[in-house]
Amino acid sequence: MAGSNDFARAFAGARWVDIVPRRIACPDLPAEVLLHAGPPLRGAPPAPMMNAAIQALLFEGRAANPAEARDLVLRREVELRPAQDHDVVTPLAQVVSASMLLIVVTQQGEMCCAPVVEGPAPGLRFGCAAPECLQRLRDISEWLPRRVTPCLRSAPPAVDALIRVALAGGDECHARTGVANEALVSVLNGAGLDAADAVRLRSNPAFVLPLLMAAAGAALRSHRSSIAAIGGNGVDFGVRYRGESRWRQLRAEAPRGFRVDSMKASTALPAIGDSAVVDYCGLGGQALAAAPTVVAEWNEVLPEDALSRRHWLIDPDTGLVDAARVAQCGRVPLINLAILDQDGAGLIGRGLYGPPLELFTAAPASAQGSRESSDSR
C-alpha cells in the first residue's frame, strides 16, 4: 500500500490562509451571479440546486420569500455560472453568493476557495429547502471570521500535514473526514481557538471538506494539471482542460452506493459537486487503500481493482490523476460522492461515481502528451 506521504503529495505547501466573503475573493463577479458545481447548465437547474439558489437569494436579501427567489432564477435575473471558472469549488448542490464566506487556500502562489459548510444534514449542500439551513449559515457567517480568522493569521494550517494525520487514522479525506476534522481542530486549538468554538467545529465533521476541496483546486493550478476543472452539476459531468475555456460535458449517471433506509424509494440525482477535485488529486476514491472502514462498508459496490487503480492513474511526480494515463489504460478515477434526492428532499445516501471515459479519451493533444513527458523524466 502506498504511504500517506504519497497520497498527500499533491498538497505539499498548501495552507489555509483566510476566510473572506466571495465579493472579496472574486471582486470582478457581479452580485447577481451565483456559482454552482460542475460544467455550465444546459437548461434549468435541477431541483436540489434550485433549492440552494433560493436559499442563497434569501441569505443575500434579494428576495423576501422562496417563491420570489424562485422567480428571480426562472426569469434569469440572476445568473448561474460554474464555480471552477472563477477559482472556487463548491460541494454538491450548494451555490455560492456574494456574501457567503469562502475558505481561502494558497499553494505555490496559486489560490482556490470553497464555501464554508454550515453543518450536517439537512444542509444547503444537500439541496435541502429546510429553513434551519439558512439560519445555521447566518450563525456560522457571524462567528467564524471573529473566532477562527485570528488563528489562521497566527499559524496558517498546513493542509498536507492534516491529510497525513487523517490517512493514518483511516480517512480517505472525502467520504470520511472525521479524523481530518479533528486534526484541524487540534491545529486551531494550538493557535488559540477557544474551547467552545472547538466543540462547535467538532460537531460538524464535514467542516474540513471544503478546506480539502480548496486545497485540491489550488493543487490543480500549482501543478499545472492537464485538467483545470472537473465535476458534476446534477445533469452533466464535465472536465475543462488547461488552456481551454469550454467544458467537455456528457450526461451524468447517479452514483452507485447505499441509501438511507427511509430514502430507499427515492430517485437519485445524477452526479453533482466539485468535490471530484479531491479524488482527482489522489484522495477519496484514489485513497481507498488507506480507509479500511470505507472499503468494508462499500465492498458490494467497489470494483475489483478499487485499491490498486491509483497505480494506473496517478502521476508519481505530482500525485494527481493524469488524463493521458486514464485514456491509455481505460480506467476512470473513482469519485466518492453523496447521493442526493432528485426532487430536492436532501441526502439519500453515499456512493461511488465513475465519470465517462470519453471525457478523457477526447482530451486535447497537450493533455494526451503529458504521460510521455512524465515518463521521460
What does the pLDDT look like over 317-372, one tens digit per residue? 999 999 999 999 999 999 999 999 999 999 999 999 999 999 999 778 766 544 44
Given a cut of 90, whether residue 30 has pLDDT beyond it is yes
Query: Out of 3.40.630.30, 1.10.10.60, 3.90.1700.10, 3.60.15.10, which CATH number does the structure's domain 226-375 have?
Result: 3.90.1700.10
Query: In this predicted structure, what is the pLDDT of residue 3?
Result: 44
Distance of alpha carbon 357 from alpha carbon 327, whole angstroms: 7
Coil vs helix vs strand at 18: strand
- Give residue 377's pLDDT band: very low, low, confident or very high (50, 70, 90): very low
> pTM (2 decimals)?
0.95
Q: Averaged over 182-186, what is the pLDDT?
A: 98
Query: In this predicted structure, what is the pLDDT of residue 373?
Result: 40
pLDDT > 70 fraction of the chain, expressed in percent and rounded: 95
Given a cut of 80, whether residue 374 has pLDDT beyond it is no
Given a cut of 50, whether residue 85 has pLDDT beyond it is yes
Q: What is the CA radius of gyration of the chain?
A: 19
Query: In this predicted structure, what is the pLDDT of residue 261?
Result: 84
Query: In this predicted structure, what is the pLDDT of residue 362?
Result: 76
Residues 125-136: tens digit of each pLDDT: 999 999 999 999
Distance of alpha carbon 217 from alpha carbon 280, whole angstroms: 10
Query: In this predicted structure, what is the pLDDT of residue 260?
Result: 87
Mean pLDDT of the chain: 94
- Residue with the larger pLDDT of the pair 37 and 3: 37
Q: According to DSSP H, which parts of the chain are helical?
A: 4-7, 22-25, 47-60, 66-74, 131-147, 149-154, 159-168, 178-190, 195-202, 209-222, 276-280, 292-298, 310-313, 323-329, 358-361, 365-368, 370-375
User: What is the β-pairing status of strands 256-259 and 248-251?
Assistant: unpaired
Q: Averaged over 138-145, what is the pLDDT?
A: 96
Q: Where are the domains of the chain?
A: 226-375
Query: In this predicted structure, what is the pLDDT of residue 363?
Result: 77
Query: In this predicted structure, what is the pLDDT of residue 308?
Result: 95
Query: In this predicted structure, what is the pLDDT of residue 372?
Result: 44
- Give residue 262's pLDDT band: very low, low, confident or very high (50, 70, 90): confident
Q: Averaged over 47-72, what is the pLDDT?
A: 97
